[in-house]
Amino acid sequence: MTLELEFNVRPTPHQSMQFTRSGRSYKPRKIVNYQKYIVELVKPQLPEGFEIIPAGSLIYIEKLHYVYAYPKAFSKKKKQQDKIYKETKPDLPDNLNKAFLDALEGVVYEQDQNIVSINNLQKYYGEKDSILLTLKY
């Protein structure tokens, strides 16, 4: 089965755990709010009668695109180019995927450890901030 989802949100990288003065660790509020918002955006997009993908099912991500809105400094001519890849931070495989895929855990699939393949992973500039996801299970 295939799920195609679109999230109209600026991709946010996962930050390292923060520590209090007493040494307790916690997740930064920015990441907690981002992940809650991802959950709010995904629920209405799931097909009627959708059941969470159970643990042990293989999950293949066919497309995962992180789209950033064009910076104001980009000229109209530059915006007309085919695809302008974002070469600056955050790094693609680690930080961006961590926060996003963790947010979907418990809503779309039980365990993100069941993701066995990620194809067509990109980050680039576009008209608006968004995340495009296609997965098969």
Q: pLDDT tens across 36-53, in order?
A: 999 999 999 999 999 999
User: Where residue 81 sits, what CATH number does that domain have?
Assistant: 3.30.1330.70
Distance CA 65, CA 108 (A): 18
Does this model's pTM top 0.75? My answer is yes
Reported as type and span, the H/E element at residue 6 is strand 2-7
**Contact at 8 Å (CB) between 121 and 92?**
yes
Give dist(CA 90, CA 39) in Å, integer.
22
Give the pLDDT score at 93.
73
Percentage of the chain lying above the pLDDT 90 cut: 76
What's the pLDDT at 26? 82
Count of structural domains within the chain: 1
Distances (CA, A) of 9 to 69, 78, 103: 10, 23, 13
Q: Residue 30: which domain range?
A: 2-136
Residue partners of 23: CB distance under 8 A and separation at least 6: none
Per-residue pLDDT tens over the stretch 6-27 = 999 999 998 767 788 888 888 8
2 pLDDT higher than 80: yes
Spell out the alpha helix ranges (H) of 24-67: 29-42
**Confidence (pLDDT) at 75:** 92
Gap between the Cα atoms of 114 and 53, Å rounded: 10
